[in-house]
Amino acid sequence: MNTCHQPTEAGLDSFRIAKITFARPDDWHVHVRDGSLLKALLPHTARQFGRAIIMPNLKPPVITTAQAESYRQRILDARPTQGPGTTFEPLMTLYLTDNTSSDEILRAHKSGFVYGVKLYPAGTTTNSDAGVTDIRHCTAALEAMQQTNLPLLVHGEVMDPLIDVFDREEVFIDRVLEPLRRDFPGLRVVFEHITTRSAIAYVRDADAAPGMLGATITAHHLLLNRNAMLVGGIQPHYYCLPVFKREAHRVALVEAAISGHPRFFLGTDSAPHPKNLKENQCGCAGCYTALNALELYAQVFEEAGALNRLEGFASFFGPDFYGLPRSTDTVTLERSSWTLPEDIEASGVNVVVFKISKALSWKLC
Ligand code: DOR
Ligand code: ZN
């Protein structure tokens, strides 16, 4: 990471960093949607990141390699034609169902453009109805994934009306994740968008060789706790899944992200929804962070006094996990005090940009 200093108001003797340049980050978990939203919003992700793991929870979901191939082409077609983002690379995933065959997994592996298979326990989140009702239905697919080294990307929550929504991640570890890793010891797993101390401890302390277990952490879970969503009126734009937890969990997430532990890496889970579907009697889950993701993460790392750890988390540990080269391109963030922009209009649809109440300190050049 290169830094460049400028004198502060405190005098010429004290310096603070004015610019940081580091390897271009990748987003290891993002929803870029389809159709007009994809066209309008993909440039945001493409401007910030070199590559991204693309979530398959479209309607209908991306369950075959052939579907992933045409979705990939639509994403490539939506890239900006000039300026930053023209070389953005989508890394595709398949949506695991009770019926995913081992042949489909082998096809995905052979394709060269599918980098993971996503487990949505049925009913846990947006467009997860076609997801897995019982992981025991997926044995053949999981064996094929183990054999071909294709990672399983996990939405780590149980769907059980008897389990409180704030506890669903912790219960998932005991009921699903631990038995799964025991039964498939060669299966590579990413525990996506972790939100609890239990998930952090599980990932950090697991007996796993490098490249076998990782976890993504979102900017919104690093920045806010559940009060943001529930105090002073209900705030639908802070409703996401897994739902925000109490402050102690947020603090632990920041510690994990800045720890320099290679199992924790960046995944925004940026998930745009039309404004009217968030501000609704039954509002959709998701925060739209793609527009300013790096600035949001930089804010967290700086406030924790760990800007020097941002590059590992954002740019190194993800590609290392996926066995991909680290980026040779760079990004530069410039010190500047600015407030997050107003909402955007994307092909006639309003999308609310994720905001926090204070000014940000870094801006992507
Ligand atoms: O908040 C979320 N939104 N969490 C998810 O797991 C899915 C995502 C979406 O697709 O809207
Ligand atoms: Zn997601």
pLDDT tens digits along 167-178: 999 999 999 999
Q: Is 250 in the pocket of ligand 1 (CB under 6 A)?
A: no
Nearest CA to ligand 1 atom 2: 286
User: Is 131 a member of any domain?
Assistant: yes
| 11 — pLDDT class (breaks 50, 70, 90) | very low
Give the pLDDT mean for 296-303.
Answer: 98
Instruction: Supply 180's token pair.
Output: 């799964």
- Any catalytic annotation for residue 269? yes
Percent of the chain with pLDDT over 90: 92
Q: Is the pLDDT of residue 80 over 60?
A: yes
Give the pLDDT mean for 28-47.
Answer: 97
pLDDT of residue 363: 96
User: Is 1 a member of any domain?
Assistant: no
Q: Is the pLDDT of residue 142 over 50?
A: yes
Give the pLDDT mean for 200-227.
Answer: 98
| 9 — pLDDT class (breaks 50, 70, 90) | very low
Give the range among 5-9, 46-50, 124-128, 151-155 with minimum mean pLDDT: 5-9
pLDDT of residue 190: 98
User: Is 352 a member of any domain?
Assistant: no
Q: Is the pLDDT of residue 292 over 90?
A: yes
User: Is 347 a member of any domain?
Assistant: no
Q: Is 270 in the pocket of ligand 1 (CB under 6 A)?
A: no
Number of structural domains, the chain? 1
Domain containing 232 — which CATH number? Answer: 3.20.20.140
User: Is 17 a member of any domain?
Assistant: no
Give the pLDDT mean for 141-159.
Answer: 98
The rounded mean pLDDT for the chain is: 95
Task: Tell which one of 118, 190, 240, 243 to mutate to probe ligand 1, the residue whose CB is within 8 A of the most ligand atoms.
Answer: 240
- How big is the CA angle at 45 (ends 215 and 254), to the nearest 5 degrees? 35
| 15 — pLDDT class (breaks 50, 70, 90) | low
Each residue's pLDDT tens digit, 324-342: 999 999 999 999 999 988 8
Packing angle, helices 102-111 and 65-77, rounded to 10: 30
Nearest CA to ligand 1 atom 3: 286
Place of tokens 């039964």: 183
User: Is 61 a member of any domain?
Assistant: yes
User: In angstroms, what is the span from residue 189 Cα to ligand 2's centroid?
Assistant: 15
d(CA 351, CA 349): 6
* Residue 38 vs residue 5, higher pLDDT: 38
Give the pLDDT mean for 346-361.
Answer: 92
User: In angstroms, what is the span from residue 348 Cα to ligand 2's centroid?
Assistant: 24
pLDDT of residue 101: 98
Q: Is the pLDDT of residue 7 over 90?
A: no
pLDDT of residue 86: 97
Q: Is the pLDDT of residue 238 over 70?
A: yes
Q: Is the pLDDT of residue 54 over 60?
A: yes
Tell me the pairing of strands 360-364 and 330-338: antiparallel
**Set 27, 164, 269, 320: catalytic member:** 269
Give the pLDDT mean for 176-203.
Answer: 98
User: Is 247 a member of any domain?
Assistant: yes
User: Is 32 a member of any domain?
Assistant: yes
Closest CA to 224 of 94, 46, 358, 28: 358
Query: What global pTM score does this model have?
Result: 0.96
Q: Is the pLDDT of residue 226 over 60?
A: yes
Domain that holds residue 45: 26-328
pLDDT of residue 12: 43
pLDDT of residue 357: 92
Closest CA to 270 of 116, 46, 99, 85: 46
Question: Do residues 95 and 56 lie in contact, with contact meaning Cβ atoms separated by under 8 Å?
Answer: yes
d(CA 6, CA 19): 9
Ligand closest to 272 (CA) is 1
User: In angstroms, what is the span from residue 17 Cα to ligand 2's centroid?
Assistant: 33
